[in-house]
Amino acid sequence: MTTDYIAAAKAVLARNDRGGYTLPTDRLYPFQWNWDSAFVAMGFATYDVDRGCRELERLAEGQWPDGMIPHIVFHQPSDSYYPGPEVWRTHNAVATSGITQPPVFGMAVRVLHERGAPHARIRPLFEAALRWHRWWYSARDPEGTGLVALLHPWESGSDNSPAWDEALSRVPTTTREPVRRKDTGHVDPSMRPRDEDYQRFIHLVDTYADCDWEPARQWAAAPFRMGCVQTTAILLKAGEDLLTVAEALALPEAAEELRAMTARSRAALLSRWSPGHRRFLIRDLIAEADVITPTQAGFLPLLALDLPADIRDAAVAEMRRWMQGLRVAFPTTPADCPAYEPRRYWRGPVWPVIDWLLAAGLDRNGVPELADALRSSVSRAMETAGFVEYFHPGTGEGLGGQGFSWSAAAYLHFRSLSA
C-alpha cells in the first residue's frame, strides 16, 4: 500500500537525521550536502514543517560572509569521505567545502512558508537565500549576462555529466597530494566517476584553494568555466519563489532586487534555446562554444520559463523521444548518445529529484500528462527497488547509495501531490 511506502520514506529520513540536518546516506555521504538538504526540507514539509525549517537553518550555519552557501557543511568529523576539510583548506568559521551547488534553497523557503512556517523562522532563511543569490550574480556572473557559470563540475550537482567531458579534458590531472577516494569502497566502482575524473576534480580544488577562495581570483584562474542552463534555471525558479515570499513578508526593496535578478536570467536562459537540438544548450565560456552533448540539463529551463508553444512542443517531443522503450524515465543522457552509461552516476541513470524538477516544469508549461508520467515512473521504481540514489533507465535496477534521503523526499513530495 502507498501508506506503507510513505512510512518507509519517512523512516529513511529519520535514519539519516543527525540532529537537525540529514545525511544523503550513511558512510558514502556522511555530511550535509547543499541541494540534497533543500529537497529534504521540502520532503519534511509534507509532514513536519518545523523539521524542514531546521534542515535549512543547519545548512545556513555554513554560509560564508560573502553569501555563498557551500556544497558541503562538515558538522562533525568522518573518515569515510574524501575530500574532507583538510583538502578544501577553507577559512570559514564552520568547516565547509569551498564551492557551491544549485540553489534549490530558495524553492524550499517558499514551500515551507506556504506550509505555514512562522515568519520568525522564514525571515532569516529568506535573508540567507537572498544573500546567496546576490553571490551567484556577482561571483558567478561578473559580466552581468544573466547566465551563471560553474567553476567545478561538482557545483552542478551532476558531477560527471557528459556535458563536462570536453571542458574537463583540458583540466590537468596533477594534484597536490595523491587522491584517496573513499566512495568506491562503499559503491561498485562501475557506478561512480572514473579515477581520472577525480584527479581533475581535485586539481580544480587545489587551484581555487591557491586563490584563497576569493571569487574574482578564482574566476580569473579557472580552467573550467561553464555557463549552465540547469543551474541558471534553478536560480531563476528559486528567485521567483523568493520574490513571492518577499511580497508576503512586505519587503519591497528585496522584491524589486529579485525582479531585476530574475528578469536578467529569464532573458539569458531563453537565448540558450537551440531549435536544431530541441533543447537548451550549456555554454563553454572558455572555449566560447556551445555544448551539444545531450543531457537532462537541456530541459531544466522548463522549470523557470513560460515557453512559447513552438519551443515547448519541440522540447516535449524531444523528451518523449528520449523516453521511448525505457522502463524508468527520465534519463540524464539518452541511450543513443555515445557517452551513455546507464549504470554510471550522471551519465544515463534516472534521478528522482531531476524528475521532480522536470515534472514541475512540464506542469508549468501545460503538459501535466507527461509530468504525471515522470512522477509515476520513478515512484514505481522506488516502490520496487527502494529509495536508492538513482535507477537504471532500461531495467529499473536500483543503483548507487541505499536509503537515500532526497529520493525518499521526492517520493513524499510526489505522493503529497496525488493525495
The catalytic residues are: 159, 389
Q: Are 399 and 343 in contact (CB under 8 A)?
A: yes
Look up residue 399 and give its DSSP letter.
E
Would you give the distance in Å from CA 65 to the centre of its chain? Answer: 22
Q: Which residues, other chains included, contact 368 with Cβ-Cβ below 8 Å and sequence gap of 6+?
A: 362
- The phi, psi pair for 295, rounded to 5°, reads -140, 170
The upper half-sphere exposure of residue 20, i.e. CA atoms within 13 Å in the direction of its Cβ, equals: 11
328 vs 282: CA distance, rounded Å: 25
Q: What 3-state class would DSSP assign to 398?
A: strand
284 bridge partner residues: 226, 289
Burial of 205: CB neighbours in 10 Å, binned 0-12, 13-18, 19+:
buried
111-120: burial string, b at 16+ Cβ within 10 Å, e else:
bbbebebeee
N- to C-terminal Cα separation, the chain: 14
152 vs 191: CA distance, rounded Å: 20
265 vs 59: CA distance, rounded Å: 25
Q: Are 67 and 96 in contact (CB under 8 A)?
A: no
Burial of 32: CB neighbours in 10 Å, binned 0-12, 13-18, 19+:
buried
Q: Are 239 and 261 in contact (CB under 8 A)?
A: yes
Q: Which three cell numbers stand for residue 381?
A: 521504481
Q: Where are the alpha helices (DSSP H) in 249-398?
A: 252-270, 309-323, 352-364, 368-385
Q: Which three cell numbers stand for residue 173?
A: 590531472
245-269: burial string, b at 16+ Cβ within 10 Å, e else:
bbeeeebeebbebbeebbebbbebb
Judge if the upstream peptide bond of residue 83 is cis by omega within 30 degrees of 0.
yes
Q: Are 33 and 58 in contact (CB under 8 A)?
A: no
With residue 298 as reference, give the H or E element that holds it: none
